[in-house]
Structure formats: structure tokens, C-alpha cells
Amino acid sequence: MRVVVGKGSCGIAAGASKISELLMKRAREEQVDAEIGTTGCIGLCYLEPLVTVEKDGQSVMYGRVDQAACEEIIRELQGVGDASAWKVSSADLGNLLGQTRIALRNCGIVDPEEIDAYIEKGGYKGLRKALSVKPEDVIEEIKKSGLAGRGGAGFPTWFKWNAARNSAGERKLMIVNADEGDPGAFMDRSVIEGDPHSLIEGVAIGAYAIGAHEGLAYVRAEYPLAVERLEKALAQARERKILGQDIFGSGFSFDMKIKTGAGAFVCGEETALIASLEGERGQPRLKPPFPAQKGYFGLPTNINNVETYANVPWIIENGGEKFAAMGTEGSKGTKVFALTGKVAKGGLCEMPMGSTIRDVVFGPGGGIRGGKAFKAVQMGGPSGGCIPASLDQTIIDYKALAATGAIMGSGGMVVMDETSCMVDMARFFLDFTCKESCGKCVQCRIGTKRMLETLNRIVEGKGEAGDIEKLEELGSLVKAGSLCGLGQSAPNPVLTTIRYFREEYEEHIHEKKCRSKACKALLKYVVDESKCVGCTLCARNCPVKAIKGSPRSAHSIDQEICIKCGKCVTVCRFKAVEAR
């Protein structure tokens, strides 16, 4: 018997470490012959902590496991308990099993800290196969697959590899971009935490293809668990001589090490990342020359993100045509998405390219939390774009998303419902990119700041006629004049919300009204006298004593004193206080 606890970052945050310790303790005390194992995130983050029991060739998954569930699981292993109340539903399992998982194929299944668990699942077969053919044949297989970079730009992976291979120089370098900085994005983190050997194998295959013998994994320091597990995986691979000299007797040598980044969003851009690795300030550089020609300390360098590399072993083992058979004409294979925001079932999923936005939000995402209306989804991170619910049949591929004004990005999807104010959402995302601007380009450094100042005025009820046009003009200037992808896409949330939700901007500016009731400065809290029974609960909880009235008589709110904290609405049992 085997009991496996999901211990990705999401599981640990939900208490998985304590659950694992409790299961080990109770199994010891009850003399239950069960191995307590570890795995990474399987994607059902909303059900964490997750525990899977493997017994007699069958497995049962339990979700939201607490102390009571642990007791029943142990009793069930003894044949006397019943933990069915915690069993993951057939609907949730169906959403999981209905996915097409390539990059996530082992996440939540293998023990990320045991190389044998990866090898048992066919790990390193792709590397063996690659080393048995010519480097050019490996690149050709990647070309057949149509694999595009999953970091956001969607550039053909084979083209990058081929350019690096053909660049002059004996010393070349492979770099892993694991500087995942988008709010609400955690795809790369989960792959490293749950299946680090797939990353190592993918990088090693790419290194053989371009003729590199060194690799660097640039992982943001905010991912300590990912760093720890990748370090262990690298050590295990070296011990098995899968990394190092003469790998599998092929004559090819390769090793890699980890460099932690300080967490600057701009370092997700490849030239800024290289500058950071070199010990310089993380700022983008002019291209050409491209990194494949002149990258890390002037060496020919290839950079791909974690998800891109994680696909490579599967492609080499199964063939490029099989990968290319999934997806659309211009976007092949699958894509991992991180679902956050107002979605009912937040977590990770992997779907074939060509799936619709609705397929993702109402499939693995389970629709909108609380049964509210689907309003929009932010695609492509803070510099992506807001796509309205009316376009939820848009297919997910690079060209179709670009037509909406959004981008694929790394795969973050922030879902919004009817309570989300699109002006405030645009302000939130622009605030992030404005702060994360490296400051090198005047258009990005100053333009995003001026745009943010305008948005702040609008949500504070100080918007003026002409502000929308000003935002559009500034947005186009920032996009046209910025050097890197951060500045070129930073205005997207603003421009797309103006494009699809212009009436909300106009209401904020001209009517001083927020239809979603999210902008506090535009709200007015009032007491409905017909519903107020004078219980005084709102008055007693008001932090600034803005509510006046006698017991058993209708109360009122002094608008001059009210700080619009909303506490009165929360505590009123009779729904007599409302925001207008």
C-alpha cells in the first residue's frame, strides 16, 4: 500500500506537510504497512491538501484532507473506516483525466525527489534516443513538432536551436528561463517542483542539438521549493552519470547549475535575463545580435522557458508528428494554463491548442465562483489583454488571441466576474508593469507612469473629458517606442478594456459611477429606512462613528465622515445598508 501526499507549494500552503507527518505518525501507531510518499501539484489546487491511496492496483484520491480525514484514511486502510466524504468527485477527476498532459505528464504522479520514479515513467529515454542520432536530426524532429516557445513570444523552438548550432564558436550555452513573474502564473514553478527531471532532460537534449556543454537555470528566488528540488534532481542525475562526462557512452558531455534571480519581472525578457546572469542590472539589450549569435558573455546562447523544455523529451520519444497532430495550423501541441481570479476551480490545466476560452474556464475551471456572470478573462499576464465573455468562443492560439488585442503570454488566465471593475483591473495590471519597468526606455518609464496617473484619477472620481483619448494615445506611443516586450505590451490591459468596456470608462468619468461597485471613491453607502430595525450593529462596528441613530429607529450615514470601508454592509443582518 502507498499513500501519496501532494506537496507542491499550493499543497504545502494548505497544510500538506502536517498532513504527511500525521499520516506517518498514525500509520506507525496503528501498525499499518503503508509507505507515505510525496508528489508535486497535480493541478487541482482548489482541493488541496490532496492525498492519493494506492492499494491493490487501484488508486483513490481524497481532497481538502484534514485531521479527521487522516484518521478515516488510516482506518480505511485497516478495512474498518470510511473516508468517502473526502473523495475527489467524479466531475473533478473527469476534468483532470480529460486534459491532454504533456508538459504536466508526471506532475502529481511521480516523486519529484526520486530519480527512479522518473525513470520508471520512461524518463531519459528521450535523451538516449537523441544521443543515438545526429544533432541536426534532433532539431528536425523539433521542427516537425511545431513546438513554439511557451514563455510568451511563441517563437519557433527549432529556429532558435538551429541558429545557436550554426553560430561560430566552440563554447555555447543553454539557459532555462524560470523567472516566472506574472501575477497569477505558476506553470513553470509547478513543473520544476513536480517533475524537475523532465526539465533537465529537455535541456540536455537541446544542449546536444546546439553543441553546448554548459547550462544555467535562472530561477526566481521566490521559488525556494523549486530550487531545492531542482538541486536534488541535478545531484541525482550527476550521480547516475546522466549529467557530466560521456553521457550514456555517447561521448557527449553536459552539466548545468542554478542561478537564483532577484525577482525583477523584466528579467523574463531574454536579454535582460542574460544581463542579470552576467552580474549587470537586468535591462534589455538591442537585437540583433540575438542571443543565439551573441548571448551570455558574448557566447552563442539558447534560452527557452521551463514549459518549452518539458515538452522536448516527449516529442523526441514519441515523434514530432504526434505533437503536431494536436492544436491548430499555426499553434501546435498543448498549453499549460494557470487559472486564478473569480474562477470556481483555481489551479493548473493542460489543454490542446485550439481549445476555446470557454472550454478552459468552464471545463477545468468549473465556471465562475458563486454562480456569478462571466465577464472577462485577462490573458497573457499583466501585459496581456482583457477578453470579454462575448468572445469566449475565441480559440486559444497565437494568431486568434492577438486578433483580440491580448497575447498568449506564459499561460496565466485571470478570470473576472460581474463584480470586477474593468477600469480598476486595467489600473491594477498597469500599476504592476509600471513598477516593474527597468526604466531604460523613456516611453516605458514615463509613459506608463502618466497612464497610471490618469487611471488613478478616473477610479478616484476625478476623471475628465479626454482622458480616454489620452490613454489611447499614450498607449500607442509606449508600445511603439519601447525596446522590449514589457513596454511593448504594458498598455494592453488598458487598450483592451477601452476597446471592449469603453462604457465603464465613460461612466467613471462622466457619471462618477462604478457599475461593479469596486471603486470605493465612487460609492455611497446608504441605509434603507424601510429595512432598518435600529439594531445598532452597524453603528457599533463603524470604525469612524459615521452612523447615527437611536435603538429601534432607522439609522443614517454621515457621508462627510464615512470612509467607505463597507463594514456596515458586512455586519447588517437585515440587508438594510447598501452601496450605490
Q: Strands 301-305 and 173-178: what pairing? A: parallel
pLDDT digits over 395-448, tens only? 999 999 999 999 888 888 999 999 999 999 999 999 999 999 999 999 999 999
User: What order do you get walking across the sheet with 347-352 strand by strand?
Assistant: 347-352, 334-341, 412-417, 374-379, 385-388
Q: Does residue 152 register a pLDDT over 80?
A: no
pTM of the entire predicted model: 0.93
Question: What percent of the chain clears pLDDT 90, i.e. is strictly above it?
Answer: 90
pLDDT digits over 227-267, tens only? 999 999 999 999 999 999 999 999 999 999 999 998 788 99
Q: Which residue is listed with cell 480505511?
A: 76
- Cβ-based neighbours of 409, under 8 Å, separated by 6 or more: 152, 182, 185, 379, 380, 381, 383, 384
Q: Does residue 148 register a pLDDT over 80?
A: yes
- Region 454-460: mean pLDDT is 96
CA–CA gap between residue 428 and residue 414 (Å, rounded): 12
Q: Which residue is listed with cell 523567472?
A: 179
The residues facing 3 across adjacent strands are: 36, 53
CA–CA gap between residue 73 and residue 321 (Å, rounded): 44
Residue 56: what pLDDT? Answer: 85
CA–CA gap between residue 269 and residue 282 (Å, rounded): 9
CB 76 within 8 A of CB 82: yes
Query: Domains (ranges, CATH) in the chain?
Result: 2-97 (3.40.30.10), 115-324 (3.40.50.11540), 334-417 (3.10.20.600), 422-511 (1.20.1440.230), 524-579 (3.30.70.20)
Q: Does residue 371 register a pLDDT over 80?
A: yes
Question: What percent of the chain clears pLDDT 70, i.e. is strictly above it?
Answer: 100
Q: Does residue 104 register a pLDDT over 90?
A: yes
